[in-house]
Amino acid sequence: MGIALTLPILFGIQFDRVQTSIVITVGALLASPSDTSGSLQSKIKGILLSALLAMTVSVIGGYLRFSMWAMFPLIGLLMFGISYLSIFGFRASLISFSGLFALVLSFSPVSGDMPPIERSLLIGVGGLWYAFMALVWHYAFPKAPTDFYLSKTLNLTAEYLRIRGHLVSQKNERSKLLKELLQIQSELTETHETLRDILISRRMGSGKSFYHGKRLLIFATLIDMLEQAMANPVNYAKTDVIFAKKPQHLADFKSLLFEMANRLDEIGEVLSNPRKLTADSKVRDCLLLVKKDITEFSDDALDSISEDTLMLRNLYKYQEEQVRKIEKIEWLLKERDRKEIRFIKDEEAKRFLTTESYDFDTFLENFNFNSSIFRHSLRIAVVAIIGYAIGLMFELQNSYWILLTIIVIMRPNFGLTKKRSIERTVGTLIGGALAVLIVLWIKNPIVYGILSIITLVISFSMVQRNYRMAAIFITLSVVFTFALLTPDVFDVITYRVTDTVIGTGLAIIGNLLLWPAWEIQSMQTTLCDTIRANRNYFNQIVSYYKDKGEVPSEYKLVRKKAFLMMSDLSTAFQRMTQEPKSQQKNLEAFYEIVELNQTFLSSLASLSTYIINNPTTPASKNFDIVTTRIDENLLKAETVLKHGTQPSEDEKKQVDDIFELTFGSTYFLPEEPEDSEENGEFHQQIEEAHLVREQLKWLLAISKKMSELLEKTPV
């Protein structure tokens, strides 16, 4: 971006066409938001569509200034129409932002007295220039996006394991750490989606590549690691009791988790800064130490098949499987012969891509007040009209900055708008204060020019990570740019702060008063989608347990959907907590429902991981009875959410005590055989019976509680 925005200006200065070069630079800036993660094809299409929309809007905006009567209704219509494009997904929302940005800049003096048509064509040239730069960058650094997001996934997975290590010992911090764990899990799920788009789309577009094939396998292994971690939620109350007698065992267990996390970080560092991965046996050594500890515990235990012993054995198996996965990643990163690796087939991989719908039906379905995007588009249109009217009424120097603040800050929900408003205001004030100090200290226009480019690049690189820091650098960039054009920089800073405060104030008031989209209004749909995704995942696990054989692609697809929907539900609940107290209805009940869904998904992952990685016995009649009841409970929860209906008293009686009926006093374990081979098979069956029984019992209890809680909680 720094190169794309700087070169036109330098050429303009060289050939005395500064005004022309500024508009070309604006065109490149307007095309740049769509240059985000994803396949090259999607990226270039987004950049070109952004440029085309910016050209069209710039022509219309250029002629708006000639008719005061037509200006306000047309601003509203354009704001609504452009913002409404966001219904077509994330990349469409970026294109929409470019259009809104172009409309706002059409009111600025950036193009001087240039005719609207000429300005529009130059903006198009800037868009083509940026698309060319994106192509050059892609072919110059083809592996950079893949390795960046893969490295990020490795680091997040490492952090997930590290937090689990802290959870074992830090009893007083567990509530806080569990929230952090959930946040990392949501971030991981989002990063997984980005990597799917990059790896699978690129592979489909450019053919098979040995490099991308290996990266796709590493990515699949990391997804399995997350599922494996979720599948083995530690019973901290029990581990506290067990490890209280053996504190060294606890230290060894923590060391293993930390060493696994450190190794993943090392691998991530190798991908970020390509070099040869050095061999390291620390993880394997720690695993052997944990194995020795568990053997000692089993020898000391009076009952070799006690619940504590089985729990520790299963915990060790989980850790051993995670170590194997890390070793598989290391193996894939070494120089391997293509014939040694079993790659994922294209037909299977492309099924995991999340595609957006761009048909006219989507447009019509959302064209009503039930759609949060429709209400947001209408809201931003009204607030923009009010903001521009205030700017004209009080004759503010750069009233279009109010509009710019509004389009950047306003989001479909109140929580994000409020958060961005605070960050934007604080960032602008800090940026303004820093700009004053720098302008008082430095009087060199060349330095201003260099600083304006550097701060602009930094600001765009920070937008997704830390919006407050981005606002600081955006303010600095604006001030340094205007310092080149106007002698009175302090007026620029004053107006910048004033317009930002007005814009943020209007954005918050607009979200509060104009067709607000409170999270409670969409929670019903989000909850229903999450429960349905969990039910589909559960049914795939049950089907695999009965049929055995190769793990079907459908299983992985429903697993992906379940993880994504759980992430959406967690994010929706977090947004609800940021809203006014008056709109946080039944917050504690919703928190419990979210926790139940999270626990249910963890239990599903635990059951599926065991079934896939271990030989299992044929499904019994009791298994069918319990799994059918769990499925019915989930269906009841969906029915309550959709129609508000409740089960009859007869139905409720049928649910009661079903587990005790099928697995109660009639469930006995055979005597332990003496033969070592039979003994091993016996222990395998005991572990299966223990884990499957406990997980089914847990799933039944959760599904029953979920449906009962939803009956009592108005959604």
Residue 279 makes CB contacts below 8 A (sequence gap 6+) with none
Under 8 Å between Cβ of 298 and 309: yes
Residue type, 289: L
Residue 650 has pLDDT above 50, yes or no: no
d(CA 200, CA 33): 22
The tokens 């309550």 sit on which residue?
640
Q: Which residue in 467, 493, 466, 465 sits closest to 478, CA to CA?
A: 493
Q: Is the pLDDT of residue 51 over 90?
A: yes
Q: CA-CA distance, 688 to 113, in Å (whole number)?
A: 78
- Exposure string (b/e) for 679-712, b if CB count within 10 Å is 16 or more? eeebeeebbbbbbbbbbbbbbbbbbbbbbbbbee
Q: What is the mean pLDDT of the chain?
A: 80
DSSP of 634-656: HHHHHHHHHH-----HHHHHHHT
Nearest C-alpha neighbor of 514 from the set 383, 420, 410 = 383
Residues 358, 359, 364, CA angle at the centre, nearest 5°?
110
Look at residues 31, 49, 13, 86 and name the one whose alpha carbon lies nearest to residue 366: 86
| Phi/psi of residue 552, nearest 5 degrees | -75, 155
Residue 193 to residues 491, 549, 558, 567, Cα–Cα distance (Å): 45, 28, 14, 12
Identify the CATH assignment for 540-712 out of 3.90.1520, 1.20.58, 1.10.10, 3.40.630: 1.20.58
How far is the C-alpha of 5 from the C-alpha of 120, rounded, in Å? Answer: 17
Separation of alpha carbons 325 and 281, rounded Å: 14
Distance CA 467, CA 22 (A): 26
Residue scoring higher pLDDT (206 or 413): 413
Nearest CA among 133, 98, 127 for reference residue 3: 133
Token code pair at residue 340: 């040694």
Q: Do domains 144-352 and 540-712 have the same CATH topology?
A: yes
Q: What is the 3-state secondary structure (H, E, C) of 170-198?
A: CHHHHHHHHHHHHHHHHHHHHHHHHHHHH
Choose among 216, 207, 225: nearest CA to 164. Answer: 225
Fold of the CATH domain 144-352: Methane Monooxygenase Hydroxylase; Chain G, domain 1 (1.20.58)
For 279, half-sphere exposure in the C-beta direction (CA atoms, 13 angstrom radius) is: 3
* The predicted structure's pLDDT at residue 676: 44
CA-wise closest residue to 691 among 609, 575, 579: 609
Looking up tokens 């004033």 gives: 498
| Domain residue limits, the chain | 1-140, 144-352, 383-513, 540-712
Output the pLDDT for position 307: 63
Least-confidence region, from 66-70, 116-120, 185-189, 316-320:
66-70
Q: What is the 3-state secondary structure (H, E, C) of 77-133?
A: HHHHHHHHHHHHCHHHHHHHHHHHHHHHHCCCHHHCCCCHHHHHHHHHHHHHHHHHH
* % of the chain exceeding 90 in pLDDT: 15
Under 8 Å between Cβ of 50 and 98 = yes
Gyration radius of the chain over CA positions: 29
Q: Which two tokens stand for residue 712?
A: 């009592």
326 to each of 190, 223, 283, 602, how far by Cα in Å?
A: 22, 12, 9, 21
CB distance 691 to 610 below 8 Å: yes
| Res 385: pLDDT | 92
Q: Residue 704 pLDDT more than 90?
A: no
Which stretches of 231-369 are DSSP H helices?
A: 236-245, 247-272, 282-300, 307-333, 346-349, 360-365
Going by C-alpha positions, the residue among 265, 251, 256 that lies closest to residue 283 is 256
Residues of the chain with pLDDT > 70: what percent?
Answer: 83
| Average pLDDT estimate for 30-54 | 87
Measured from the Cβ of residue 356, the count of other Cβ atoms closer than 10 Å reads 12
Q: Annotate 503-527 with three-state secondary structure.
A: HHHHHHHHHHHCCCCCHHHHHHHHH
CA distance 696 to 629: 10
C-beta of residue 82 within 8 angstroms of C-beta of residue 75: no
CA distance 608 to 594: 21
Amino acid 357: pLDDT:
57
pLDDT beyond 50 at 335: yes
- Distance between CA 516 and CA 185 in Å, rounded? 29
pLDDT band of residue 535 (cuts 50, 70, 90) is very high
Full-prediction pTM beyond 0.85? no
Q: What is the pLDDT of residue 652?
A: 45
pLDDT-derived band at 379, boundaries 50, 70, 90 = very high
pLDDT single digits (tens) 175-226: 788 778 878 888 888 888 888 878 776 554 444 567 777 888 888 888 888 8
Output the pLDDT for position 441.
84
Asked whether residue 343 carries a pLDDT value surpassing 60, the answer given is: no
Question: What tokens appear for 466 in the block?
Answer: 């830390």
Euclidean distance between CA atoms 458 and 476, whole angstroms: 11
Rounded Cα distance between 518 and 397, Å, is 35
Q: Indicate the burial class of 262 (C-beta count within 10 angstroms; 0-12, 13-18, 19 or more).
A: middle
For residues 678 and 683, give the distance between their C-alpha atoms in angstroms, rounded to a whole number.
9
| Residues 389, 375: Cα–Cα separation, whole Å | 21
Q: How many residues are given for the chain?
A: 715
Cβ atoms of 475 and 433 closer than 8 Å: no
pLDDT of residue 686: 60
Residue 505 structure tokens: 């104030």
